[in-house]
Amino acid sequence: MARVLRLPDHGRLLVATDLQGCLRDFVRMERIFRAAEDKSLGEVHLLFTGDLIHGPRIPEDGWPDYLGEFYKDESPKLIDRFIALQERFPKQVHSLLGNHEHGHIGGPHTAKFAYDEVALLESILGPKNTEKLRRLFRDFPLVAVAPCGIVFTHGAPAAHIRSIAEIEAAKLDGITYRSPVDILHVPVIGQILWARSASAEAARKFVGALGGRVSVFGHDVVPQGFERVGDEQIIISTSFGVADAQKVYLDIDLSRRFDTVHDLREGIEIVPLYPQRQRS
Ligand SMILES: [Mn+2]
């Protein structure tokens, strides 16, 4: 299985991070993608950077303000819509593996909103749909790279790698986790899927080993929607844990060249998910 997704040097790329079961934001990204697709000759790509699934299961009257607008977890429907969209646009719709997807195919089980979110979702899906989910996730790459200079991962670019081959060769299963934090010590995948930050030096080495200069990732929540870290890293929050007005996605011209994260401009590459809401 190709663990590295290689994007082309032309066309348009839309990038969204952690949805965590928020169907409304998935549908919004799907509409933006379809509208872009209608206007073009088929060179529009849509990339999710993982954590499509496992959302809050909190009643509306107990919903905390810091999580943004209320929603309820709709992971099964969201996955069905992702599969349908990918079947319609097989070479253009992609998702990276997030730590929440990894739980279903060999990773430690996550416990963000339930004691065991993997067991919970699989019990809702039943055996047949669970197998379909696992088949889908086993095909998700760990990293996407584009000739424009950007490297996309789920977590921060903290993994020590010397070459792209180390990511290509990474195994996703076969490890028993005595504690969920054990994953942090697993070479390559532990950091790619779980790291929340990386030093400038680590980030430069990581993106450099993949032939890039700029790192884009999610996994963590940035209440303002995005945050640049030095010249190499930018965290994007498209959905989970962010108020609608602050949610952003990326809209990238793949034929351009990006040397630093400052080349990703607010209002051009960094775009609000709900532009009718006023950013604060
Ligand atoms: Mn995550």
**CB atoms near residue 244 (< 10 Å):** 16
Tell me, in angstroms, the distance from the centre of ligand 1 to residue 41's CA: 33
**Neighbouring residues of the ion ligand 1, judged by CB less than 5 Å:** 51, 98-99, 219
Q: What is the pLDDT of residue 180?
A: 80
Q: What is the pLDDT of residue 174?
A: 87
Tell me, in angstroms, the distance from the centre of ligand 1 to residue 104's CA: 14
Q: What is the pLDDT of residue 1?
A: 64
Ranges of the chain whose pLDDT falls below 50: none
Tell me, in angstroms, the distance from the centre of ligand 1 to residue 85's CA: 22
Q: Which domains, and CATH codes, for the chain?
A: 11-272 (3.60.21.10)
Tell me, in angstroms, the distance from the centre of ligand 1 to residue 40's CA: 32
Q: Which token pair is 72?
A: 């309820």
The whole-model pTM stands at: 0.97
CA-CA-CA-CA torsion sign (54, 48, 132, 28):
positive
| E strand spans, 18-145 | 44-48, 93-95, 143-145
**CB atoms near residue 1 (< 10 Å):** 8
DSSP 8-state symbol, 12:
E
Q: What is the pLDDT of residue 42?
A: 66
Tell me, in angstroms, the distance from the centre of ligand 1 to residue 217's CA: 10
Tell me, in angstroms, the distance from the centre of ligand 1 to residue 155's CA: 7
Tell me, in angstroms, the distance from the centre of ligand 1 to residue 148's CA: 25
Tell me, in angstroms, the distance from the centre of ligand 1 to residue 189's CA: 12
Task: Tell me if 206 sits within 8 A of 161, measured CB to CB.
Answer: yes
Task: Tell me if 233 sits within 8 A of 218, measured CB to CB.
Answer: no
Q: What is the pLDDT of residue 113?
A: 87
- What are the residues whose beta carbons fall under 8 Å from the beta carbon of 180, sequence distance 6 or more? 108, 109, 110, 111
CA distances, 230 to each of 4, 18, 153, 219, 246 (Å): 25, 22, 17, 18, 21
Q: What is the pLDDT of residue 280?
A: 75
